[in-house]
Structure 1
């Protein structure tokens, strides 16, 4: 085993129900997935929504529950682990302010994610380890060693984690090259699932997990999102999973758009079908959306395609 990866099998983990605690291994698996998705590209790892959500997904597979994930613990205690060169604390180095660095040993472990983020919002992953994990082959090897080393007690859990990594790596390949998301239908169910996952991830991140119509943004304490990724031109017709063919919507508004009761137009405003009766009280939640501005991604690459918006408006019920 390459030593840069060997450090992952020497994590200092506690015990949970008589087995190795899954916190640190799940965090490292999440980091590996985010590297393969092109979201982490430098040793500086930002503790953002994507990473924490990914950690919760893996923790749920490993422990059967999202509610006990407590991401602040591995984010904090990973700093005590040795990196590839054997230097203590070099695997993960939180970016602490000079003022906080002098007293951090007296603070004790944080008791919530908010408390941890007040101490640091990013940390540095050992650059040698990052370089190795940039290779898909090495990333798969690292994932296999983490799963074998810390989840040997459950073949079923190992299988679930391996399946998760397979899908994450396939989805990550699309995320790094989103131009691949337009074209003929995927040739296998696995490809279809990976494309769908990449579409969802790119769209929700582009809109910062906020509904493009209602502006609602809600992430549960165990990191589930209120919004869904909705195609502008249906995939069956467009064969297009690029984020420019999608918007983030709450489930009720996703349903309304798919049923052509509302549509975002090329004017970047929402339009409501005249078939929706404004005099019916239960219709007001839709009618109030008429002529409201469409929430747009900050990144111009992911803003809705004008032809896709025109398609939606043309198919509004008249």
Structure 2
């Protein structure tokens, strides 16, 4: 065994973990590390920079539900922040942002984590080990055997049994009426604490961003632009017609797929889509005649999803016409 992998085996076997007299040592750090390892394996994580993503949060919850047999609370922000006490984990704050901590020097909330932390960096040598399948499997087994002795046999189920809420949320986004979806959020707000609710919204927003491009065949509904890449790079945005901050609506009819430049133009009211799905360009727009001009799309019928129930909501489009479109 190489010196490098021996070093990281020692570090992974001696994680600094919080202790609760009634619950024992906290499982949060090993769960987060297993989630990162699995996303590296799936090529969702492709560098040593670990960003706070819905995919990572979902994988964290999935592993927690299957492997953790204590009554600890699955707070994602805690290990992401406190892993900074490990020599292989380096937190990088967003420019001009200060990470707010409690009197006990813990992170204040998941919301604060997202707002203040840009990403965490794994040691490059550790990341390289995790991209090598045999070495990754060794380190993965170190974590499972050291910290989950009572549930080791469950680890093979991960991936076969997704996070309980995942498919349920997807079904709500794809099939529910706006009012039903909004009621689900009200019920969640009443039953979850602030951190759990913020995590839930983050996951739902991430699933919305993935689902909208998918049902539009990864094409911009106005320009038809479609770019595929082996680098897992997404070039089509999911755009809320009525912003989520106003609508509390992540259902498909409140979304359209747009290229980044048209997404920005839509959000700023330079373009809109009529309830009959025809594009209008704001009369405030003045531009030169290029292949990038907005005016070329004026009067164009947008591309629509395969199911009529997924078509953009005429009521939402009417709201955008009235409240956002610049006339």
Is 2:69 the counterpart of 1:34? no
Pairwise CA distance, 1:78: 0.5
The answer (yes or no) to whether the contact 1:32–1:143 under 8 Å persists in 2 is: yes
Is 2:167 the counterpart of 1:163? no
Match of 1:121, SS?
A: strand
Match of 2:8, SS?
A: helix
Q: Deviations over 1:62-107 (max 9, x none)?
A: 23599921011100110101xxxxxxxx311011257557997988
The answer (yes or no) to whether the contact 2:49–2:119 under 8 Å persists in 1 is: yes
Pairwise CA distance, 1:114: 0.5
Q: Deviations over 1:168-218 (max 9, x none)?
A: xxxxxxxxxxxxxxxxxxxxxxxxx69x99xx99xx8xxxx9659989898
Paired residue for 1:313?
none
Q: Which runs of 5+ in 1 are unaligned?
A: 82-89, 168-192, 233-242, 254-265, 274-284, 294-318
Q: Distance in 1 between matches of 2:96 and 2:79?
A: 23
Paired residue for 2:55?
50
The answer (yes or no) to whether the contact 1:22–1:150 under 8 Å persists in 2 is: yes
The answer (yes or no) to whether the contact 1:71–1:113 under 8 Å persists in 2 is: yes
Match of 2:120, SS?
A: strand
Match of 1:269, SS?
A: coil
**Corresponding residue to 1:135 among 132, 135, 146:** 132
Pairwise CA distance, 1:145: 0.7
Q: Deviations over 1:267-312 (max 9, x none)?
A: 6225777xxxxxxxxxxx889858x99xxxxxxxxxxxxxxxxxxx
The answer (yes or no) to whether the contact 1:67–1:222 under 8 Å persists in 2 is: no
5 Å-filtered alignment, 1:1-318, equals 2-6=5-9, 7-15=11-19, 17-63=22-68, 68-81=73-86, 90-97=87-94, 108-152=105-149, 154=150, 157-164=151-158, 167=159, 221=198, 223=200, 225=204, 268-270=303-305
The answer (yes or no) to whether the contact 2:83–2:89 under 8 Å persists in 1 is: yes
TM-score, normalised to structure 1, is 0.51
Q: Distance in 1 between matches of 2:101 and 2:108?
A: 14
The answer (yes or no) to whether the contact 1:270–1:289 under 8 Å persists in 2 is: no
With over 3 angstroms needed to count, the CA separation of the structure-2 counterparts of 1:97 and 1:269, relative to structure 1, is: closer
The number of residue pairs the alignment matches comes to 214
Q: Distance in 2 between matches of 1:67 and 1:12?
A: 16
Pairwise CA distance, 1:10: 1.6
With over 3 angstroms needed to count, the CA separation of the structure-2 counterparts of 1:129 and 1:269, relative to structure 1, is: same
The answer (yes or no) to whether the contact 1:213–1:289 under 8 Å persists in 2 is: no
Pairwise CA distance, 1:221: 5.0
Pairwise CA distance, 1:44: 1.2
The answer (yes or no) to whether the contact 2:99–2:117 under 8 Å persists in 1 is: no
